Amino acid sequence: MALDTVKLKINGREVDAPKGSTILEAARLAGIQIPTLCYMRNLNEIGACRICVVEIKGARNNVAACAYPVSEGMEVFTNTDNIVKSRKATLELILSNHRMDCLTCLRNTNCELQKLAADFGIQHVRYSTDKTDPEIEASEMHLVRDNSKCILCRRCVAVCKKNQVVAVIGPNDRGYETHISCAFDRNLAEVPCVSDGQCMVACPTGALTEKDDTEKVWKALGDPSKHVVVGVAPSIRVTLGECFGNPIGTNVEGKMVAALYRLGFDNVFDINHTADLTIMEEGPEFLKRLEKGERLPMITSCSPAWIRFCEKFYPDFIPNLSTCKSPQQMFGAVTKTMYAKDKGIDPKDIVTVSIMPCTAKKFEIHRENQQAVDGLDDVDVALTTRELARMISRAGIMFNELPEESFNETASTAGLIFGTTGGVMEAALRTVCELATGQSPKSLDFLEVRGIGGIKEAEYDIGGKTVRCATASGLANVKKLLDMIKRGEKEYDFIEMMACPGGCVNGGGQPIQPASVRNNVDLRKERAEAIYVADKRSNMRKSHVNPFIKRLYDEYFDAPGSEKAHKALHTSYKAQPRYKLD
Amino acid sequence: MPNQKTKIPFKGTPEQEKKLREVIEKHKDGKGSTMIILQEAQGIYGYLPEEVQLIIAESMDMSLSEVYGVVSFYSQFSLNPKGEHVVAVCMGTACYVKGAGDILERIEKKLNCKAGEVTPDGKFSVDAVRCIGACGLAPVITIGDNVHGRLEADQVDGILEQYMK
């Protein structure tokens, strides 16, 4: 037997487990899933909720399997009467303090607490409930917090601090009074929340949910005087299927398009096109800066939570940001300018709806300087993947039985790879290399910037110049990279920043997978894989060869960086105070 | 009783801030420095208002939320300054069984000020405290250095009024 493993018994069966692993991990190797609630691998291993308790032969008390390390000869029992009794009592205690409005909760049928209560057959709670009123905080554009459904697992707190480093929420007060909130119980809008929404996808219950904007869309769809155009972000096609029981990483582009038409949208637009357009604006912007040696490194601007983070925490880097609007905003801008003109519709009568992997997009649509047509927001409603799934369900559309349909016009897959970390960088490189040298790069695969690594670095020769590139995803990595640059330890020319770990495929607006799945499957990897498969099969992998883009410039925007393009497709940023204290 | 945010405007002086920054500089890199700094900060200001917690957070590369989480956890930390008259209601066992709860309720009502808080004019602050060792006088309160013992709830208003003049 290898030295780095230990032998133990779980439920009477012998198991070899790596030294240092927890009982939970060892049990998993033996094909036993111990239920958990507060546990998130590498993130929240605090043994607080006591749902994962197991018995160890000879031990005085039950132990938390998520935190207790295995040892040689240990005998573990995961499913005895005593254990089930203990877990049931714990569940009842949690439920006694939980506002049980399951039927009217956004997380109904996708709630980890609800599932545990069902699994353990809880039909009666012996302890009285005293949390009956909602405790709503909804000061931000993207989120609703209802502490009457909070179970104090602290998963949101861990994500906010460790992955996203803003740490705007934490456990306050003590004992029975403990609650998760901002400092001094201030509103989220008064503290440096950047609206990435990672807390929502970490929440096991309905305590943290997106602000549901679907009613606005239903209203527009039902109004005959409105022309409603929907744009879908690159990553949605590889995640939406999960909401309808498809395996993680299934590409459902065809069914997604079919569903959008059936919902009644007047037109369905692939935001991959405006991702291509972003590259057309950002590429020349970068080459110009590179040539002049100005405002380098240039940093991408697609991720609105990253932009908010930059404005609040690293205002020194604002001049480095690309002035390009995000693909979402460009979609709105193009629709209300060129599309309106083409169709002969007054832009006032157009409603633009975007389907986004992201909750910060709900904030972005209200940003300043995002109006290609004066007085009209580029995008009227930003929905998350989850909200779209709810619309499809409500309309009675049987998603999995839909035929495959396609967008009116196919975009390049350079736009598609925007959906994962490194994708914007790779798409830009594919175009920039050709712009600089007049020749297509030998390979369109820039493998160094792919993958789920938090920070990736690569150097490429572009027209005889070495261009130093870096990507960071997850604000903890973003912070790390910026701090290294500030200290002078690193120098780059071009940086891609994504607020969410792994980029948009793992955004705060994506389908919620329970921790039992997230602890064992890397969502970032599986979802990104589906994107790269589509890119590999594509015969249009460069933004600048997209015929739609060519037409856009020929017929409307003249040329990349033109005055017209600048007015519609670029924006500005400014430093924001971190705290809004009175 | 959750510690409520004060309604009293912050009146910190540059001298106090200088002292605070020295304390932070001295302890910053040590283990468990947050507690030490918070204790010393409370020594300097008498309490830990948002303004002070923000200075501590920003200079220690922590978020305000993390600092506040610690402050609101420990009862030794106060978010409120002390009033001109500090009213302490003994909640020890003897006082409690003799009706200290009612006394506290009457005080809170009369002053419109909860335990752990201070009145908006800064005149009174109310604390519910552990046994003060005067069980023979139960239920007992102290106001500043004065001890008022063997109280009935109905006496509370009159006693407080003496200090309101």
Shared domain for B65 and B131, answered yes or no, is no
CA-CA distance, A537 to A527, in Å (whole number)? 16
Shared domain for B55 and B95, answered yes or no, is no
The predicted pLDDT at position A528 comes to: 97
Contact (Cβ atoms closer than 8 angstroms) between residue A401 and residue A257: no
CA-CA distance, B28 to A378, in Å (whole number)? 47
The predicted pLDDT at position A573 comes to: 97
Out of B26, B49, B73, pick the residue that ends a domain.
Answer: B73
The predicted pLDDT at position A558 comes to: 94
* Phi-psi category of residue B103: left, alpha or beta, with phi > 0 → left and psi -120 to 50 → alpha: alpha
pLDDT tens column, A12-69? 999 999 999 999 999 999 999 999 999 999 999 999 999 999 999 999 999 999 999 9
In the predicted structure, residue B8 carries a pLDDT above the cut 90: no
Q: Identify the CA nearest to A407 among candidates A236, A213, A214, A225.
A: A236
B1 is a domain residue = no
CA-CA distance, A290 to A288, in Å (whole number)? 5
Shared domain for B125 and B65, answered yes or no, is no
Name residues whose C-beta falls within 8 Å of residue A294's C-beta, 6 or more positions apart in sequence. A288
Closest to A168 (Cβ–Cβ): which among B1, B65, B79? B65
CA-CA distance, A163 to A474, in Å (whole number)? 6
DSSP conformation letters of A188-242: GGGTT-----HHHHH-SSSSEEEPP-HHHHHHHHT-TT-EEEEEE-GGGGGTGGG
Contacts of A161 in chain B (CB under 8 A): 63, 66
Q: What is the CATH number of the domain that holds B131?
A: 3.40.30.10
Shared domain for B48 and B93, answered yes or no, is no
Report ipTM (2 d.p.). 0.91
Closest to A183 (Cβ–Cβ): which among B1, B3, B64? B64
Domain with B55, as residue range(s), is 14-73
Summarize the confidence of residues A428-456 as an average pLDDT: 94
Cis peptide before B139 (omega within 30 of 0): yes
Shared domain for B152 and B92, answered yes or no, is yes
CA-CA distance, A570 to A282, in Å (whole number)? 10
Q: Identify the CA nearest to A331 among candidates A310, A353, A301.
A: A353
CA-CA distance, A520 to A527, in Å (whole number)? 14
Contact (Cβ atoms closer than 8 angstroms) between residue A412 and residue A539: no
pLDDT tens column, A383-404? 999 999 999 999 999 999 999 9
CA-CA distance, A536 to A160, in Å (whole number)? 35
DSSP conformation letters of B37-102: HHHHHHHHHSS--HHHHHHHHHHTT--HHHHHHHHHH-TT--SSPPPSEEEEEE-SHHHHHTTHHH
With CA atoms as reference, the chain A residue closest to B73 would be A173
All domains of chain A in start order, with CATH:
5-79 (3.10.20.740), 92-210 (3.30.70.20), 223-569 (3.40.50.1780)
C-alpha Rg value of chain A to the nearest Å? 25
Out of B28, B49, B73, pick the residue that ends a domain.
Answer: B73
With CA atoms as reference, the chain A residue closest to B79 would be A184
Shared domain for B95 and B146, answered yes or no, is yes
B123 is a domain residue = yes
Chain A residues touching chain B at CB-CB below 8 Å: 161, 166-174, 177, 182-185, 191-192, 579, 581
Name residues whose C-beta falls within 8 Å of residue A30's C-beta, 6 or more positions apart in sequence. A10, A13, A15
The predicted pLDDT at position B9 comes to: 85
B4 is a domain residue = no
Q: How many CB pairs under 8 A join A and B?
A: 54
Mean model confidence pLDDT for chain A? 96
Contact (Cβ atoms closer than 8 angstroms) between residue A153 and residue A117: no
Out of B23, B51, B73, pick the residue that ends a domain.
Answer: B73
Contact (Cβ atoms closer than 8 angstroms) between residue A384 and residue A509: yes
In the predicted structure, residue A130 carries a pLDDT above the cut 80: no
| Total number of domains constituting chain B | 2
Give the DSSP letter of residue A14. E
B134 is a domain residue = yes
pLDDT tens column, A340-387? 999 999 999 999 999 999 999 999 999 999 999 999 999 999 999 999
Assign B1 a pLDDT band (cuts: 50, 70, 90): very low
Closest to B65 (Cβ–Cβ): which among A174, A177, A183? A183
B79 is a domain residue = no
B7 is a domain residue = no
Contact B68/A169, CB-based, under 8 Å? no
